[in-house]
Amino acid sequence: MTTNPPAGSPDKEPATEAQAEQNAVGNADQATAPTATARKPDEAEARPSLGRTFLENLWAANTVTVTVLALVLAMAIGAILIIVSDPEVLATYGYITARPADALNASWSVVSEAYANLFKGAVFDPQAFSDWLNGEAGWQAVLGPLSETLTYTAPLAFTGLSVALAFRGGLFNIGAQGQAIIGVVLAALAGFLLPLPPVLHLLVAVLAGAVGGALWGFIPGILKARTGAHEVINTIMLNYVAIYFLSWIIVQSWVQNADRADAISRAVDSSAQLPRLLGSGLRVHAGILLAVLATWFVAWLLNRSTFGFELRAVGANPDAARTAGISVTRTYVLIMVIAGALAGLGGANMVLGSTADALTPQVVAQIGFDGILVALLGRVKPWGVLLAALLFGALQAGGNRMQSYSGISLELVTVLQALIVIFIAAPALVKAIFRLRAARAARLQTSLAKGW
């Protein structure tokens, strides 16, 4: 839109971050590296002014830049919330005209400490690293934050994929929460009711979760296909039906933990639990591998299979798809069944993994709703969703540390997540705030679902 950022301006920092992330994306998976990284080698030989082109691209309103800037904006607003809600820091603003340094220092220390803890809890804690070098602590402490991040990532990846898949087919699946709940119920029931040998038991429990979710996705799917009832309304309603069903089934005598008076079920047998990947000290479990597998599957389904083609055709224009001979009814039902199964797997993760081993009313937390955010942040592309889930998992893991070390409520993470997605959803706003240039042929509109 306007000129390039001058060197040394504050703009530079997000730009390098964007670069770093782009490289990371490129290394992790070629399929997701959309623009600059993938093209880089060719352009290096073709054009001498590569550096300049690259910088220009960085400051254009492309997907990665907007995502990073959305993150920056969200964290800035989060910082304001931290300052405003701290009476001591707020008090220093009372005499800001007399001693501005006080207010700024106090604000900086409280915000930087909070965000430092967020980072240490999610990615890497230098203290643990130096302890390990000095032989004072084990390597587990170094990998601890990453293990936590991956633990939180797995269920979010499933629900995110669920929402994203439905989105691509033109359906808005707000019901991932309900599907995850039914999934977690069936997975847990299979986990402690069926006496099966170890490996088989786990497979059956995971499958039960998928079946539960699929069932809960089938209902809005068939209603949409047969009566035209809007799936947004029905999935919201089914979320609540599922919540009440969960709270009912927990207190049944054949489910409830006999030793407890509160609403908690029996524990899942150890033979049905997902194995931990890095020993019992770290919580990361095989669910993350399943999540990667599911991402690969959804990517294949969407981009390589016949059904994926039909799904995208229906999503783009149901009338045209019908004219072309695609069964819209069948496609809608199948979309919701697969989406439901994915969300159900996410739910199964919550009770078969290391997060919990028994049903409680809160057992699936918010993974269904967070899945919506993850899907939007991942631009409804499978590998994008996985990366978004990773970011959200990191925020969650870091948020825990931030809460216990800095006393900043975990709710801040919810705020950050919602804000990031708001900015992502309105790229025009981010573009206007940072005066980004319009990107060539960049499709940034996330608008997918239609009205009622």
Chain residues binding other proteins by CB under 8 A are: 81, 85-87, 172, 174, 223-230, 232-234, 236-241, 244-245, 247-248, 318, 322, 327-329, 332, 369, 372-373, 376, 408-409, 411-419, 421-422, 425-426, 428-429, 445-452
Dist. CA 113–CA 128, nearest whole Å:
17
CB of 304 to other proteins, least distance (A): 25
Q: Which is nearer to other proteins, 290 or 364 (CB)?
A: 364
Q: Which is nearer to other proteins, 352 or 373 (CB)?
A: 373
Contacts of 49 (CB under 8 A, 6+ apart): none
Residue 34 identity? P
CB of 190 to other proteins, least distance (A): 22
Q: Which is nearer to other proteins, 175 or 353 (CB)?
A: 175
CB of 383 to other proteins, least distance (A): 21
Contacts of 216 (CB under 8 A, 6+ apart): 175, 178, 179, 181, 182, 183, 238, 242, 340, 343, 344
CB of 57 to other proteins, least distance (A): 24
Contacts of 246 (CB under 8 A, 6+ apart): 181, 184, 185, 359, 361, 363
> Helices in 47-99 by DSSP H: which ranges?
50-58, 63-84, 87-92
Q: Which is nearer to other proteins, 302 or 416 (CB)?
A: 416
CB of 230 to other proteins, least distance (A): 6
Burial of 127 (0-12, 13-18, 19+ CB in 10 A): exposed
Q: 3-state DSSP: the chain helix, strand, coil percent, rounded to 5?
A: 70, 0, 25
CB of 22 to other proteins, least distance (A): 25
Q: Which is nearer to other proteins, 200 or 233 (CB)?
A: 233
Q: Which is nearer to other proteins, 4 or 414 (CB)?
A: 414
CB of 69 to other proteins, least distance (A): 15
Per the CB < 8 A criterion, the answer to whether 266 and 273 are in contact is no
Task: Name residue 85's beta-bridge partners.
Answer: none
Q: Which is nearer to other proteins, 236 or 442 (CB)?
A: 236
Two tokens, residue 31: 């399929």
